[in-house]
A and B are shown apart, each in its own frame.
Chain A
Amino acid sequence: MILSAAIALFVGQAQAQEQPEESDSTEATDPLAPHRVKFDVLAERAIGTASKPVEFNWRRTTVQLAATGSFLSELNNFNSLRGGGMVRFPTGGMLIEVEGSYAAAWDTPASNLLALTPYRQPGRPNRMELDFTVAYPLAEGVVTTAPRFFPAVQMVFNAYASFRYILYPTGFRGLRPGEVARAILSPNLSQDEIDNLDGNRLNSMQVDLGRYGLMLGLGNDVYFKQGLFLSPRILVAVPVLAPATQTDLLIWTDLSLAIGVAL
């Protein structure tokens, strides 16, 4: 209703500006003629001023909670899936995300065959992962859905930067508190941790040394009017920290989906 009235008003302005050029007689009889503007000009002006959410204002939420799951494509012969929970905080027009996940790795037919040979491939055994992410909205708006009986939703297209920290609790077994503290801060796993994890690795797996890494990616947040949201995204590991972490898993992807509620 408001939008229609605004358009009518601008249409009136456009017509008022164009009339004097067409006919001097009309100008003399129409006092609004100087204020009239053509519709295409008005539409051009409206673009960029109607970008504020109208279906769901996620910026005004306090916290967002979500369950997450992801498939890791690590470019080795092992399969990995993650599941966990996420807390998001809108702030300064961005989202800060903190996520904890359990990542499970299992064999594939290829890795089973590799285990029969005297060769091993770097990979990561079952583990905990902590993600600290910043989501920056690049575009957003109200979009319609298909099938049509679903209501319109608020869509936000985000860029993500994420710091992922890998935690192997059993890797600290038998270490003194000081050694644990040093290991937590070290970019790569110590020999003691590697030894402790030897029983956890898959038969053809060589435990990868990296403890943390940086990921970049893109994704959408789809907010329903009631506050429910979906967040599919794709993240790509960026090996800028590889020289320090000594990881062999350089570029790989994480396809994830978060389902949650914004409060």
Chain B
Amino acid sequence: MRNALAILGCLFAVSCGKVPIYGVNAFFTLADGSWFAEEQTLFVFYELSAEQGLGDPSVIEITYATDEERVPWTPVSDFDPVHTHIPVDCGVNRLCGSVSISVPLEPRDFDIRLRYHRDGELALEAEAVLNIVGPGAPHTNRSLVVYGVFEGSNQQVQWRGRHQFPTLRNQQVDRLGLRRDFLIRGQRFGTADTSSPTNPYGYGVDCPDFFVDAGLPEVGTDERAVFDADPLPLGASEASAVCADATVFDATGSFSAVALARKNPEVRGAFPVLRSPVHEASPIQFFFGPCDRVISAEHEAMQRQRLLAEGVPTYCIDDWASPDFVDTLVVDLRDAVEARRPLGEDMVLVVGINQDEPGAAVAIERALAQVVPGERERSTPRLAGAFVFDSTPRGLSLPELAPVTLWCPATLDLSEIPDASVRSCPTLPDIPDLELGPFSFGFLPILPSREQYLDFIDTYSTAQAGRVDTARFLTPEFAATSDHVDLGEFGVVTFLNGESISAGSDDAFSYCVQDQPAPFFFRSELLRNDGFGIVFQEACQAGVVPPQLCAFAGAGLLPIELLPMWHEQFGERNYELGLFWEFPFLLQAEYEAVVAGAATAFGVTVPFGVADPQEAFLGSEIWENDSFALDPTLTQCTRFCDHPTFDSAGVYNVTDPFRSTYAQGCYLPRFPVPGDPGFPIDP
């Protein structure tokens, strides 16, 4: 009780007093004046904040002096403004706005202050900034520049005003309440560019006399943008620009100057879609194994099931060590291919090897190396490649087989980047079974080695080892005119059927990087010129060319991302388009994987499992589709390529022409459309 009283006593002692008074802590964040000699107008912009307490009673006052008058502190609302200034709500505890005053002579001693209350005497003076803009050209010495832009189809003009103040941005001036009237009359079209690096909007520059009257009515607005009521006549299709007389108003009356609207770059997909038929290849099945003995019947049955080759006779390899084994096998393989070729279908060798002597697999590999690689670049019907399911994990010993053969299971050398021949079905490290009391759970890859398989069925059962249901070998159809450029270990570029991009010398290309690298290359007359190849290789050796390009130095082609740069430099008229691929076919297998379990009690093991349908893609997934889109990747500008561009936010970038800006960038413009609000994004 005594403590409670003591606490209450202290509380009351601290609290006993009048309610405190706090300062509003007001401060100016903007207090700028700009006087334009050409317009005889003083523009004043202000913005201030306070922690609290600003409201209607607070007023902004300004003062200035000229050689002929001294204006005492006067509330901004007492001036007769030259332009429209709308009231602006800048938020709670903020005051902002603007005013334009007719001041014929250059002002000095300019200042701005906040009077806390219109009836009070206390005020907060700002550190005001005054900019004097003397006489000069309209595009640099006036407060408003007028220009035009086109909507997406280049048929209708939107005329825009752009505030131009020394310390303020265009949209900031909007926010501070200034509205400017402008009128557009006498629109005429033709082909000429009156802009310049110092006058990118081309404002105030007369247009050539040969421009043709567009016959469009007068338009005007007090916002920042207005669309023409009608589109341009059809005769203006080839014209690159529209000129008009733009009238703006100031303290001296009105002022007219020529405003320029330039068409947007005409851009299209350079080669929207490249199509090439992809067909299912016909499998030619071989199953190699010893005929004099049985290594493992369960394993052989599993291999045959995986290859869907249950009825295929065993090709005996007991004499694999004999000198003529390889030659005989080569003949048999070729005979099988030639026997199937008249059917007109592409083919894939599907090979199972049931062996426990590595030398047998090596011999088969040597035979395949004499048959398969040579077929790779033939036109359809051809032997696209080989799929080998061996008994033990190993890598290919003959590098010429790597581009055309899937060898499973494969050992994976993590010290180097694996090629498609082994990375599709590497041998995974042994994952120990999950043991939970009497239960154990395990999983078998669909293409296991013999050791993996036998270990698995020792614990579980063959029923839980999974099964392959379907296997499709997809491979592209190569026309008789297909041309292949071998890039060695990287893969092949195939010019499928004479696909090419036509271009004018003034055209410009844009390459847009996508999530997936574009599998396209191009070549041109110059690139195929042997003399140029020699120069290119010399440039590589001299280190002039980036090393990544030198990989293609001798091939006479370049990645598609270099096309914009190439065309800019050499301006060729035609570019052949080739498709890059790494592996000649895609094995699409649907199979049933099983999460296997076993329960062991009193010496009895009961297997069980949960089947899960799965799909695997081995080889090159590029052959999953038979069309390859270039549209978002490569675009081509055919007209007005040096005109300014819109970006994806709808901002008109007057100093960013298509040609130089988007060679290596994504051109995703958002054009204005009739009906848009009158205040476009224009920072």
B121 in the interface (beta carbon within 8 A): yes
Segment from A160-168, A221-229, A242-250 that makes contact with B: A242-250
Measured CB to CB, the closest approach of chain B to A177, in angstroms, equals 22
B92 in the interface (beta carbon within 8 A): yes
The answer on a CB contact under 8 Å between A118 and B23 is yes
Measured CB to CB, the closest approach of chain B to A220, in angstroms, equals 25
B19 in the interface (beta carbon within 8 A): yes
Most buried by B among A206, A240, A248: A206
Please name all residues of chain B whose beta carbon is closer than 8 Å to the beta carbon of A242 when the two chains form the complex: 15
Count the B residues whose beta carbon is within 8 Å of the partner chain — how many? Answer: 27
The answer on a CB contact under 8 Å between A122 and B24 is no
Known A-B contacts A118-B24, A120-B24, A251-B12; A203 and B55 likewise in contact (beta carbons under 8 Å) = yes
Chain B contact residues, majority secondary structure: loop
What mask results when residues 27 to 50 of chain B are scored 1 for a CB within 8 Å of chain A, else 0? Answer: 000000000000000000000000
Most buried by A among B17, B18, B57: B18
A260 in the interface (beta carbon within 8 A): no
The answer on a CB contact under 8 Å between A116 and B122 is yes
Please name all residues of chain B whose beta carbon is closer than 8 Å to the beta carbon of A123 when the two chains form the complex: 19
Measured CB to CB, the closest approach of chain A to B22, in angstroms, equals 6
B646 in the interface (beta carbon within 8 A): no
What mask results when residues 226 to 258 of chain A are scored 1 for a CB within 8 Å of chain B, else 0? Answer: 000000000000111010000011110000000
Contact pick for A121, options B21, B119, B120, CB 8 Å = B21
Most buried by A among B24, B93, B121: B24
B52 in the interface (beta carbon within 8 A): yes
Inter-chain CA distance A242–B16, complex, in Å, is 13
A195 in the interface (beta carbon within 8 A): yes
Return the chain B residue nearest A250 by Cβ. Answer: B15
Please name all residues of chain A whose beta carbon is closer than 8 Å to the beta carbon of B26 when the two chains form the complex: 118
Inter-chain CA distance A212–B19, complex, in Å, is 17
The answer on a CB contact under 8 Å between A206 and B121 is no
The answer on a CB contact under 8 Å between B15 and A119 is no
The answer on a CB contact under 8 Å between A203 and B57 is yes
Inter-chain CA distance A242–B14, complex, in Å, is 12
Known A-B contacts A118-B23, A240-B11; A198 and B119 likewise in contact (beta carbons under 8 Å) = no
Please name all residues of chain B whose beta carbon is closer than 8 Å to the beta carbon of A116 when the two chains form the complex: 116-117, 119-122
9 smallest beta-carbon distances between A and B, as pairs:
A116-B120, A250-B15, A76-B19, A195-B92, A120-B53, A116-B117, A119-B21, A251-B15, A239-B15
20 additional A-B pairs beyond A76-B18, A116-B122, A194-B92, beta carbons within 8 Å, are: A74-B19, A116-B116, A116-B117, A116-B119, A117-B116, A118-B24, A118-B26, A118-B116, A118-B122, A118-B124, A119-B23, A122-B19, A123-B19, A199-B55, A203-B55, A203-B117, A206-B22, A250-B15, A251-B15, A251-B16
18 A–B contacts from the bound complex (CB under 8 Å): A75-B17, A114-B21, A116-B119, A117-B122, A118-B116, A118-B122, A119-B21, A120-B53, A121-B22, A123-B19, A198-B92, A198-B93, A203-B57, A203-B117, A204-B53, A206-B53, A240-B11, A250-B15
